[in-house]
Structure 1
Amino acid sequence: MSAENSDGNISVPLRNLLNSAHCVRDRVRDGESNESDGAFNLANFWDTLNQAVMAVSQEATKLSLAFSKPPLPSQQDTEKLAESTMKSILTLSMVYYWLPKSQGVSLRRQVRDATVDVLDGVSQLVEVILSSPLQSLSQEQLTTTGTVWSACDQFAQLPKDNKAAVLMVLSAQMGVVKDALEEIEQALSEVQDPFNDILDDDQDGDEPRGNQDTYWSDKDRLVIGPCHGLIKASAACLKKMLSSVKANGDVTTPLNLSQLDDLADITKEISPGVDDLALCLYPPMDYSGVESNVTKLAALLKKVLEIIRSSHVCGESELNWVQFLDGAVDHNLQKAKDLIQQDS
């Protein structure tokens, strides 16, 4: 017997709760914040938001426990549970809307995503309750209840201002680029000609070995050098940018907040560019693809460095590494192009 098929139509308030939760989630995911004319108190926002999150967690727990074993709650009790759960998620969404874009787009995105995760978790829990047998607490119900708790718990780890939010974006991107760099370096150290153990006198004269699709030629390895250099420049750029934002990032003016958001947005383009270049380096190497991707990544890095140079995070000491990396990008791009076009 499930809530869907039980006497007294207790599934109706649960269905209404599910539909309403979906609507609230969609509004949070796609809607705009309320811009306040007065001063915004960020500390007060976080206190109120954390209380709202805790309330959702508690209501989800009560709902799950009520449907964890027979007897089923009455229709009246179910309506009360659905109503109090709905009130908690409406309050959470309302508090989220307090956070204006003027506090930073990067911060707002991360709070929005965390809020959507909670609303998704509640929706999944209600769906499971509607479809699960009630003889005992199902594993799926335990899992979805835990999902709500985890989604609520992540609010404690959220950045508390836009500088912290941008640092989180930069750290994540640096991790992805570092992984790509390590992967290509590992491949360079391991990938060998699969037929290198065949004796030379087994070859017919000067005929090249077959199956060249599985290993790099001498020219391939030469071309990889400046491409590898460009990926290293990407990692260095992210590392230096991270330290510059830590040291100089400011959230006290609209201009500086906007500049931090610009840095976060452009940074998100680096790891896909690095991945595209790294993937086309594997044998068989397509030189036109390599040239296209190395050109795109170099242009992106030049744009990133220009945004850094014109932002408040770039002081005199930062200008030195910006100029150095700018030159390194130009050098590796030109070297890659020269090698690709050589003998072509």
Structure 2
Amino acid sequence: MKRKPMMADCDGNVCESLRKLLSSVRTVRDQVRDAESNESDGAFNLLNFWDTLIQAVRAVSQEATKLSIAFSKPPPPSPQEGQMLSESVLKSVLTLSTVFYWLPTSQGASLRRRVRDATVNVLDGLTQLVDVILSSPLQSLTQDQLTSTGSVWSACDQFAQLPQDNKVAVMEILSEQINVVKDAIQELDQALSQDPFSDFLDNDDDLEGDDPLGQQETNWSDEDRRVIGPCQGLMKAGVACLRKMTSAVRTNGDITTPQNLSQLDDLADVIREISPGVDGLAVCLYPPMDYSGIDNNASKLALLLKKLLETIRSSHVCGESELTWVQFLDGAVTHNLQKTRDLIQEEK
């Protein structure tokens, strides 16, 4: 059987150019991923930044396409063509990374993080494409190469969907957190409303033993459900807080001063902690319930919510109308935590 030609069989100079390209792109990607905060010495034109960044992203997408086409069928490019292709791809990569570095932290850490992650995704896709080209048959365009090329295009297309300023970036974080927390609450509500053993128990005469399916370990007792109630109240207070905060940031969020930009980032930092806190409590509420774990996780979530409410209270997004719901939710958190602890104490 005739062996399919592989990239390893092509001209050594072409392969070496690709290997050097792969190494260089990986290095740039790692540098962007670990990039230190950058400060602007003067006025920064955010609109001009976005125009230049989008152009740089398009160039990377175009160069990736050229590279993929060039190695889609035999014969492979000549050594000179391979060198020129690699240099052209690397040039587009360096331009993209340079433009990313222009964005200073003074425009908002949340915005810069989103742009950084999007840039890393493009470079990740490109490294995968070059790696696939180096290891794929040249007889035809492989599915792996098609998929890798598509991944680069998709990562580049995401730039058009990125938040254009720090306020929008924080709004995105809020939206993501609300969805995650709502999912955790809905899953618990659905589990509580169902009896997973009802079908079996209809024919329990055929089952041996007093507890053949270990119901006591897999179902909630009445006492369990009473404890779950205020825990759900804590979780729902988290959703209410995130929703109210979304409205406050949309209405009052300001990005014209360094102080206000910093306050939005402080809010974002606390916001990211809410869904893990809700998940931690939710996991403890499934049978068999660990009351000490519930007590611990309810306290952690309550502390996080109070931290978020205090951060809101001390920020520019909190006006007189916002102060009303901040105080109400603070009281709701305190009430539900205390009720949870009281009920747990009764069960001990």
Please indicate the TM-score interval, normalised by the length of the shorter structure: over 0.9
User: What does residue 11 of structure 2 align with?
Assistant: 7
Residue 296 of structure 1 pairs with residue 300 of structure 2: yes
Moved more, 28-37 or 222-231: 28-37
Residue 191 of structure 1 pairs with residue 211 of structure 2: no
Please say if residues 227 and 332 of structure 1, whose CA atoms lie closer than 8 Å, have aligned partners that are also in contact: yes
CA deviations over 1:41-79 (Å, ceiling 9, x no partner)? 000000000000000000000000000011111000000
Distance in 1 of aligned mates of 2:58 and 2:330? 48
Cα RMSD for the two superposed structures = 1.9
User: What does residue 32 of structure 2 align with?
Assistant: 28
CA deviations over 1:141-196 (Å, ceiling 9, x no partner)? 00000000000000000000000000001100000001011111111111366576
Q: Using the TM superposition, give the Cα deviation of residue 3 of structure 1 relative to its aligned residue in structure 2, in angstroms.
A: 2.0
Letter of the structure 1 residue corresponding to residue 34 of structure 2: D
**1:27-66 map, 5 Å:** 27-66=31-70
Distance in 2 of aligned mates of 1:58 and 1:203? 68
Aligned residues: 341
What TM-score does the superposition give when structure 2 sets the normalisation length?
0.94
Large movers: runs of 4+ above 4 Å: 192-200, 207-210
Letter of the structure 2 residue corresponding to residue 81 of structure 1: L
Moved more, 189-198 or 106-115: 189-198
Residue 101 of structure 1 pairs with residue 68 of structure 2: no
Please say if residues 40 and 106 of structure 2, whose CA atoms lie closer than 8 Å, have aligned partners that are also in contact: no
Secondary structure (helix, strand or coil) at the match of 1:269 reads helix
Match of 1:115 among 116, 119, 134: 119
Q: Using the TM superposition, give the Cα deviation of residue 268 of structure 1 relative to its aligned residue in structure 2, in angstroms.
A: 0.5
Letter of the structure 2 residue corresponding to residue 51 of structure 1: Q
Residue 140 of structure 1 pairs with residue 111 of structure 2: no
User: What does residue 150 of structure 1 align with?
Assistant: 154
User: What does residue 289 of structure 2 align with?
Assistant: 285
Match of 2:333 among 312, 324, 329: 329
Letter of the structure 2 residue corresponding to residue 29 of structure 1: R
Distance in 2 of aligned mates of 1:317 and 1:269? 25
Distance in 2 of aligned mates of 1:252 and 1:163? 10
Please say if residues 223 and 347 of structure 2, whose CA atoms lie closer than 8 Å, have aligned partners that are also in contact: no
User: What does residue 128 of structure 2 align with?
Assistant: 124
Please say if residues 32 and 97 of structure 1, whose CA atoms lie closer than 8 Å, have aligned partners that are also in contact: no
Residue 267 of structure 1 pairs with residue 271 of structure 2: yes
What TM-score does the superposition give when structure 1 sets the normalisation length?
0.95
Q: Using the TM superposition, give the Cα deviation of residue 109 of structure 1 relative to its aligned residue in structure 2, in angstroms.
A: 0.2
Q: Which runs of 5+ in 1 are unaligned?
A: none
Letter of the structure 1 residue corresponding to residue 108 of structure 2: G
Moved more, 87-96 or 6-15: 6-15
Secondary structure (helix, strand or coil) at the match of 1:237 reads helix
CA deviations over 1:259-282 (Å, ceiling 9, x no partner)? 100111101100011001111101
User: What does residue 241 of structure 2 align with?
Assistant: 237
User: What does residue 161 of structure 1 align with?
Assistant: 165
Q: Which runs of 5+ in 2 are unaligned?
A: none
Query: CA 1:322 to 1:275, structure 2 compared with 1: closer, same or farther past 3 Å?
Result: same
Q: Using the TM superposition, give the Cα deviation of residue 120 of structure 1 relative to its aligned residue in structure 2, in angstroms.
A: 0.7
Match of 1:73 among 59, 74, 77: 77
Letter of the structure 2 residue corresponding to residue 284 of structure 1: P
Distance in 1 of aligned mates of 2:10 and 2:301? 60
Letter of the structure 2 residue corresponding to residue 177 of structure 1: V
Q: Using the TM superposition, give the Cα deviation of residue 199 of structure 1 relative to its aligned residue in structure 2, in angstroms.
A: 8.2
Distance in 2 of aligned mates of 1:334 and 1:49? 51
Distance in 2 of aligned mates of 1:69 and 1:113? 33
Distance in 1 of aligned mates of 2:19 and 2:211? 69
Query: CA 1:44 to 1:343, structure 2 compared with 1: closer, same or farther past 3 Å?
Result: closer
User: What does residue 256 of structure 2 align with?
Assistant: 252
Distance in 2 of aligned mates of 1:50 and 1:199? 65
Please say if residues 53 and 152 of structure 1, whose CA atoms lie closer than 8 Å, have aligned partners that are also in contact: yes
Please say if residues 192 and 216 of structure 1, whose CA atoms lie closer than 8 Å, have aligned partners that are also in contact: no
